[in-house]
Amino acid sequence: MPNALIIVLAAVAVILIAIILANVKIVPQSRAYVIERLGAYSQTWQTGLHVKIPVIERVAKIVSLKEQVADFPPQPVITKDNVTMQIDTVVFFQITDPKLYTYGVEAPISAIENLTATTLRNIIGELELDHTLTSRDTINAKIRVILDEATDPWGIKVNRVELKNIFPPREIQDAMEKQMKAERERREAILRAEGEKASAVLVAEGEKEAKILAAEADKQAAILRADAVKEAKIRESEGEAQAILAIQQATAKGIELINEAHPGAEALKLKSLEAFEKAADGKATKLIIPSDIQNAVGLVAALKETVQG
pLDDT tens by residue, 61-116: 999 999 999 999 888 998 888 888 889 899 999 999 999 999 988 888 899 999 99
Residue spans of beta strands (DSSP E) within the chain: 24-27, 31-37, 40-45, 48-51, 57-64, 67-71, 75-78, 84-95, 156-167
Tell me whether residue 62 is exposed, middle or buried, using C-beta atoms within 10 angstroms of its C-beta: 0 to 12, 13 to 18, 19 or more.
Answer: middle
CB atoms within 10 A of CB 151: 24
* Per-residue model confidence as pLDDT tens digits over 110-158: 999 999 999 999 999 888 888 888 888 899 999 999 999 999 999 999 9
Maximum Cα–Cα distance for the chain, whole Å?
216
Burial environment of residue 148 by CB neighbours within 10 A (0 to 12, 13 to 18, 19 or more): middle
Contact indicator for 92, 140 with CB cutoff of 8 Å: no
pLDDT at 307 over 50: no
- Cβ neighbours for 280, distance < 8 A, ≥ 6 positions apart: 287
Interhelix angle 291-308/265-280, rounded to 10 degrees, is 100
Phi, psi of 87 (to 5 degrees): -135, 130
Task: Answer yes or no: are the C-beta atoms of 24 and 38 closer than 8 Å.
Answer: no
pLDDT band per the 50, 70, 90 thresholds, residue 272: low
Q: Which domains does the chain possess? A: 2-64 (no CATH), 67-168 (3.30.479.30), 265-309 (no CATH)
What is the DSSP code string of 175-205?
HHHHHHHHHHHHHHHHHHHHHHHHHHHHHHH
What single-letter amino acid sits at 243?
A
Identify the sign of the CA torsion 244, 247, 248, 249. positive
- Digit-coded pLDDT (tens) for 174-186: 777 777 788 888 8
> Are 53 and 80 spatial neighbours (Cβ–Cβ below 8 Å)?
no
User: Do residues 70 and 111 make contact, with C-beta atoms less than 8 angstroms apart?
Assistant: no
- Does residue 270 contact residue 296 with C-beta atoms inside 8 Å? yes
DSSP state of 56: T
Closest listed residue to residue 209, CA positions, set 220, 197, 201, 219: 201
Contact 57, 35 (CB under 8 A): yes
Quick: pLDDT tens for 37-51: 998 999 999 999 988
